[in-house]
Structure 1
Amino acid sequence: MKNLFLTFIIALTVFISKATDSERFNKAMGETLVQLGQAKDVASFQEVANKFERIASSETAEWLPNYYACLTYTIIAIQQKGDDIDKYLDKADTFVEKLAQQKVTSLDEVEVLKAQIAMMRISVDGQARFMKYGSAFEGAINKAKAINPENPRAYALKAQMIFYTPEQFGGGAKNACPEIQKALEKFANFKAISPISPNWGVEQIKGMAKACN
């Protein structure tokens, strides 16, 4: 009986410890996500990316810190020009590589990140890069939709790609509108798995939707 009671106490202690670790992780992630939403310039976004990287270093079993570090670097890249875009996308790619080594519960979200990086690579020099990164974009989007057909970000990025492609190549607002509508429908029915799970993109797609009215 004494040994059984001792085993119960040890098991309870481990459970409480894990619960505390989970609460600490969620708190750190929640605070950093708030900071991400409030960031306004490269310096503040870089600070956020650094925080996600530190969380990832201490919480090696968790994939979301690497996911958000990657996403943050794509946001920084948007604010750059020319070769500086590639510099930050290279950094984003290092986190995609880290995610490949982890047990990710939402692989569709990683494919969306890959698609976003490919799309931004094209933006540096569309004529020279479309052949290479266009196929990478389509491959990632198709994988994301196959894994989770309800992921609105996959449709939103596809819409964005069409929207900003010149009309003579099948792009433009008119051609993007069907995909924009799909994305809006997916967002309307989407529910994030948790408060710290990926839940971005709706405002961007709403902005593009104005061109369809």
Structure 2
Amino acid sequence: MKNLIFTIVLLIASFITKATDNERFNKAMGATLMELGQAQDVASLQEVANKFERIANSETSEWLPNYYAALCYNLIAQKQKEGSEIDKYLDKSEAFITKLSQQNVNTPDEIEVLKAQVAMMRISVNGAARWMKFGSAFEGAIAKAKEINPENPRAYTLKAQMVYYTPEQFGGGAEKACPEIQTAIQKFANFKPTNPLAPKWGSEQVNGLAKACK
């Protein structure tokens, strides 16, 4: 009987500890996501990326901190003008994407979206020289993301952006992008995040592109 009671006590204590840890994690992530939403410059984005990295180092079984750290570096890369600086921050993003690939991610399509985003920005450094390599990487990642989850609106948003910013002589431009833009908007209309911390970005970007279709 004493052994049974001791076992029950241990189980209850373990449950309480886990619940406390989850609460602490959710609180830290929620606060840092709010900071990400307010970050406007490289310095603030770097600070947020550092916070996500610290959470990731503390909560090694959680994948979202690594995801958002990678996303932060993609956002920092977008603010760079020099190709070498863009690549530097994309390298940092890919380091976190590599960590993600080693974790148990319940929505792996989001990893493919990050990969596609990195490839798209690699192309932006030098489209003529990089299209062959990173264009196929982009298309492969988008195709895989859609295969895993056909309802992920971020996959359609990145595709719309890629077409929109591709020169017309190479099959891009606003007119060609409009069907992709409309599809992305429809996907967002039906999109429901799996939990409050799950990725939900992209609607502002695609709505901005939609102005060219009116």
Q: Structure 2 length normalisation: TM-score?
A: 0.98
- The alignment of Structure 1 onto Structure 2 pairs a total of residues equal to 213
Partner of 2:85: 84
State the distance in 2 between where 1:134 and 1:40 align: 29
Instruction: Report the identity percentage.
Output: 70
Partner of 1:158: 159
How far 1:6 sits from its partner (Å)?
Answer: 1.7
Q: Which amino acid aligns with 1:35?
A: E
Partner of 1:61: 61
How far 1:2 sits from its partner (Å)?
Answer: 2.5
Partner of 1:5: 5
Q: Which amino acid aligns with 1:192?
A: P
1:1-213 alignment, distance < 5 Å: 1-81=1-81, 82-213=83-214
Cα deviations by residue, 1:121-149 (Å, 9 ceiling, x for unpaired)? 00000111001000000000000000000
How far 1:9 sits from its partner (Å)?
Answer: 1.1
SS where residue 55 of structure 2 aligns? Answer: helix
How far 1:161 sits from its partner (Å)?
Answer: 0.1
Cα deviations by residue, 1:44-94 (Å, 9 ceiling, x for unpaired)? 100000000000001000000000000000000000022100010010010
SS where residue 200 of structure 2 aligns? Answer: coil
**5+ long unaligned stretches in structure 1:** none
**CA RMSD of superposed structures (Å):** 0.6
SS where residue 44 of structure 1 aligns? Answer: helix
State the distance in 2 between where 1:83 and 1:77 align: 10
**5+ long unaligned stretches in structure 2:** none
